[in-house]
Structure 1
Amino acid sequence: MPNCDLEKKAFCCDICGRGFSQEARLKQHVRIHTEEKQYTCEICSKSFLGKGNLKTHIRTHTEEKPYSCDTCGKLYTRKENLTIHIRSHSGEKPHSCDICGKSYTNKKNLTIHIQSHTGEKQYSCKVCGASFPQMESMKKHIRIHTEEKQYSCEICSKSFLEKGNFNVHMRTHTGEKPYSCDVCGKSYTTKDNLTIHIRSHSGQKPYSCDVCGKSYTSNNNLTIHIRSHSGEKPYSCDVCGISFAQMPPLKTHIRTHTGEKPYSCEICDKSFSEKGTLTKHIRTHTGEKPYSCDVCGKSYTTKQNLTKHIRSHSG
C-alpha cells in the first residue's frame, strides 16, 4: 500500500493510502471502497455516496438550475459547471497537456485528451469487450446491446439513446437552428455543424489524410475520404447487397427498391428520391442559373452543364 505523507495530509485511507486534510473527506472517500451509498433518492431510488451528490441529482427531477451565467443567462444545476461555462466567454483554458501543450477549460476534457496520446481505454464492455477512454462513452455503447432508447419523439415515434440527440432531432420538426455564423448569418441545428462551417471562412482544415496529405474541415469527411484509399464500403443494401462508403447514398439507393420519393415540388407536385434533384428541378420553375462561365458569362442550372460548356472553350 502507498505511504501517506502525514506531514501534509492528516488523515489516511487504510485501503489505498490516499491522504486527506479533513476527516470528513476521508470518510466520504472510504465509501468508494466499501460501496456504502447511504443517500437515496426518494423519486427513483438511485443512491449516492455524498449528500451533496444526492442534492445535485434531485435537480434532474425538479429541473432546478440555481446557477446562472451573468453574461448569457444560461442556467446550470452545479456551480462547477457554471465555472467551466464562464470560461467559454473569457477564453480561459487553465488545464494544459504536458505532451503537446493543448489547453482545455476543464480537467475532465484534458484527461480525455491525454488518452489520445497514451491510447489508454480503461472502460471495457462486458458484453463484447469494446474499450472506451470514458465511462460515459461505455454507458452509451452498452445501450446498443440493451436497445434502451428512452427518449422518444411524439411526432414521428423515432427513439434515441441520448437526450442530446433527441433534442437535435426535434429541431428537424420545429425548424429551430439556434447556432448562427457571425460572418454570413447561416444557421445550424448543432454547435458542431456551426464549428465545421466556420472553417469554410477561415480556411482551416485540421484533419489530414496520412496517405495523400489531403485535408478536411471535419473528422467525418476525413473518415469518408480514407475509404477511397482502403476501398472500405461499410454500408450494405439488405435487398441487393450493393455497398456504399457513406450512409446517405445507401438511403438514396434503397429508394430505387421501395419507389419512395419523399421530396416534392410545391409548384407542380412532381416528386423526387433525392433532395438535390428536387433543388435542380425547382430551377426550371424559377429560372435560376447559379453556375456561370468565367469566359463568356453564360449561366446554367447545374454544375455538370457548366462543366460541359467550359469544354467548348478549351476545344
Structure 2
Amino acid sequence: MMRRKRFWQTRILMGICTVVIWSLLSGCALNLEDFQAQGDNGSSPVSSSSGNKLRVIFLDVGQGASQLLISPSGRTMLVDAGNNNMEQQMLDYLRQFGVDRIDIMVGTHPDADHIGGLDAVIDHHEIGAIYMPKIQSNTKTFESLLQSIRSKGLKVKSAQSGLRLDWDDEVKVEMLAPVEVSDDSNNMSAVLKVSYGGTSFLLTGDAERESEKAMMASGKDLRADVLLVGHHGSKSSTSLSFLQQVSPKFAVIQVGDNSYGHPKQEILNRLNKNGVQVYRNDLQGTIEIASDGQNYEITTER
C-alpha cells in the first residue's frame, strides 16, 4: 500500500514538473517572439543590445533631427533633439535605450527642429558637457533652452572646427565645422566626425554648401562611411564635390512629413548615382547603425 502511494506521489510530482516546464518554455517562446521584431535586413530591433560596439541611433523625430550615440564603454552623446512637440518622445527614447545621463550634448544650431527637445532632456537628466555654436536666435525655443541650461548651472562650450571632444578612449570625435563665422544659422551648424577603428560617421546638422566648401578648404579628412545628409535632404546641401570627398557607403536622411519637399529628388538621384545606400526616418522609423570597428550592423524600426 505504501509502495502504491509513493508511486502515485511520484507520478503527480512528475506531472506538476512537466506542466511547469512547459509553462516556462511557452513563456520563453512568447518573450522571444516579442523581441524578434525584424528590421529591413531581418536583424534584431533598434532596442537590442549591440555589445561592445559604437551605436549611432538616428531617432525618428519627424521633420527634425536627433542622433543618440552610445560608445563601446557605455558613454552617451546626444546631438540635437527634434522639435518642441518631440519633448516627451525624446524622454521616452532615452528611457527605451536605458540612458539616464548625457555625457556630451550638442545643439548643432538654434533652429527649433533641432534644439526643441533639448530643454526637456536637460531638465530630466544629468548632463556633462554642452556644445553649441556662437549664434543666437530670438525665439522662445532658444530662450527655453538657455533657461534650462542656467537652471542646471551648466556652461556652454563653443562649437567650432578643430575641437577634439573627450568622450571615449576608443572613439575619436572631431568637430569639423563651423569653420568660418556666418550670420546664417544653417552654415553655423556643428559638424562632427566620429571614428571607431576603421569605421566613421559624419554628422552634418543643417550645414549647407557654404559650410561644405569651408570644410573642404580646411584640409580636414572628410571621408566617412556613414553620412547624415545635410538639412534633411535639401538641395542647398550635399553638393556633388562634398559628397565625392566624403565618399560614404551609407546615408541617413532625417526627415518626416513636410511641406518643403524634403528630401529633394535631385539629392536622392545624386546619392544613388554615387552608389550610396540611403536610409530614411520617414520610411523606416528609427535607424541604428552599430560598428565593431570594422563592420556595420544596420537595423531599422520598420
TM tier relative to shorter chain: under 0.3
Query: Which structure is higher in RCO with an 8 Å CA cutoff and minimum separation 6?
Result: 2
Q: Normalising by structure 2, report the TM-score.
A: 0.20
Structure with a larger share of its residues in strand: 2
Structure with a larger share of its residues in helix: 1
Q: Normalising by structure 1, report the TM-score.
A: 0.19
